[in-house]
Amino acid sequence: SSLQLKRHLSDCPWARSAMLGRRELARLGACAATHGATGGHTRGRVAALTAPLCRRWAACSGLSEHVRQPSAAIAAASREQYAADGAVVLRGVISEAWLKHLRGAAEEALARPGPQAEQLAKPPGFYFSDLELAERLEPFRRFALDGPCGAIAGEVMGSSEVCFLYDQYFHQRYEAGDATNAVVKTPWHQDQPYWSVDGTDVCSVWVPLDPVPLESAVSFLAGSNRWGMFSPRHFATGKSYEGTGMPAVPSLDGHERLAWSTEPGDVIVFAGMTFHGQEDARRVQGQFRRLSVRYTGDDARFCRRSGEAADVIPSKYHPCDLQPGDPMRCARFPQVWQRPAA
């Protein structure tokens, strides 16, 4: 019956791990009715119908690869590398349908910048950044909550559940004639000191929308996820935030650097405590768009930062009602993924 189908979809690890949200499950139920999945089916028969119905739903929705299972591409070696180095690249885990969706979202981000939008490069360069897009632009929210990155984060961190923290969009563009004068310099920094969250199960999933050659890639310092927490820095000047109570970032020369060229469909997953940046001045050419989606896992807890880091994430524009020590799951930081029962 339709009730059996609804119960199966709610319990189905495949449906959950494929990142079908409530709206998608409702639409899948409607698709089931349209395509004849009603009346008198046994539980086994309902289960047998689920996968093809999900694919029919995907075709109806226009996201033909929406239900791709990303965890199949995440081997134990990737999880081990993330734990050891604090960063890992995964190849081909974002479908072309989602990439097309994000490219449309990127155009909306430029057309409708938020209150935290910044221009990080001086002319002739163009380096746009904006925060918390999912809180105000539906295409970004759909990807953050219903896309594959929550499952990717959960598998890489080894967590039993994942909550969405926030997202950030970056757009760098340098025309051929300007590239020789366009210097890109991002100071070494950790992300987590900017955020009101403690714990080791905190990560970012970088989703490139354009090819990024190695010479233009951001670098990560291997193992720096275990070095402790250092002060946030202003990107424009490299100066430490004031009033945080954290030590300044020390000299980081001589440490092993990790960097990868990437193609659309790849992601880089890195811990909130991993140092990364483009400390060495680089000259780049072309367009580099990427979305960074941040998630928390099992041991993450809300905390309060001080000084200039007090209201970065969550910002004053999109606050939460958590208290220090609370688990992160709440209306502001919703659960997006739960590990299927064995």
Q: For each successive 10 residues of the chain (342 residues), what is the average pLDDT?
A: 43 38 45 40 34 38 45 72 96 96 97 92 82 97 97 95 97 70 76 97 98 90 96 89 95 93 97 89 75 98 96 95 98 96 78
User: What local confidence, expressed as pLDDT, does residue 236 receive?
Assistant: 77
Residue 52: other Cβ atoms inside 10 A: 11
The Cα-based distances of 321 to 17, 60, 63, 124, 329 in angstroms read 29, 38, 35, 42, 11
User: What local confidence, expressed as pLDDT, does residue 124 receive?
Assistant: 74
Q: How far apart are CA 93 and CA 132, in angstroms?
A: 23
**Beta-bridge partner residues of 168:** 131, 292
User: What local confidence, expressed as pLDDT, does residue 237 receive?
Assistant: 84
**Beta-bridge partner residues of 173:** 126, 287
Q: How far apart are CA 168 and CA 130, in angstroms?
A: 6
Q: Side chain identity at 99, as an amino acid letter?
A: L
User: What local confidence, expressed as pLDDT, does residue 182 receive?
Assistant: 56
